Amino acid sequence: MIVLEKDEKLLILNWLRNLLARELSDEQLQTLQAVEFSQFFAFLVEIGFEKQSSALQQELQKIALFQHPRLELAADFTQCFLLEGKVSALPYASAYLDEQSLKQNLAKMDHYLERFQLQINRQTNEPSDHLVVYLEVLIKLIEQNNATEAKAFIQQQQLLTWLPQFAKKTEKTNIRTHFYPILVRLLISVLQNKCT
């Protein structure tokens, strides 16, 4: 099994965080579809994510066939993550954890936010149990070479306690592309296999 260097972990996690944080811009979509970006997909294959890399590239080819590709992805982002919990896969731990687990989870997140002096994005007003906030904390742990703590954060504490349920829900949403479900599954694979 290929072990990733710290900068490689950070590269993938930052990339996934940025794609899952908000609707893609025209520039982000053009970058993903550019020939030059095939090097990144080749890197994913090289480190063991051939299936996910291939699925993402195929999905991007399908998306390019739409008359308004970015708008289709924006609609999927809304449908997948922003509607109410019965029809969307809300990217919040509170949508998947029971009350006791959530209370413990949020107490730990408050500790991490204070420790790393991270502030919740006031522009989007995301609560501390949003997936992107969790990824920001994980990135900080990896930057500081806290491998044991990062592993616990992923496996026992913060992420894998609810992400598999979230991933299943993304696959059941009423979307036209599979771009976001593929990204979420890739994130889980990265967390399980490359960040612990």
Query: Is residue 12 packed enough to be buried (19+ CB in 10 Å), middle (13-18) or exposed (0-12)?
Result: buried
Q: In the prediction, which pLDDT does 127 show? A: 75
- Predicted pLDDT of residue 126: 62
d(CA 162, CA 187): 13
For position 117, what pLDDT does the model report?
A: 86
Which residue has tokens 């990896």?
142
| Residue 120 pLDDT | 66
Question: What pTM was estimated for this model as a whole?
Answer: 0.92
Q: Tell which phi-psi region holds residue 125, choosing left (phi > 0), alpha (psi between -120 and 50) or beta.
A: left
The two structure tokens encoding residue 59: 């999905």
Position 123 scores a pLDDT of: 52
Residues of the chain with pLDDT under 50: none
Contact between 141 and 155 (Cβ < 8 Å) = no
The pLDDT of residue 164 is 95
Q: What are the strands, taking DSSP E only, across the chain?
A: none
Are 158 and 109 a contacting pair, CB within 8 Å? yes
Q: Which two tokens stand for residue 144?
A: 């500081």
DSSP state of 83: S
- Residue 44 has a pLDDT of 95
What's the pLDDT at 145? 86
Q: CA-CA distance, 93 to 105, in Å (whole number)? A: 8
> Cα separation of 173 and 24, whole Å?
18
In this prediction, residue 191 carries a pLDDT of: 93
CB 182 within 8 A of CB 80: no
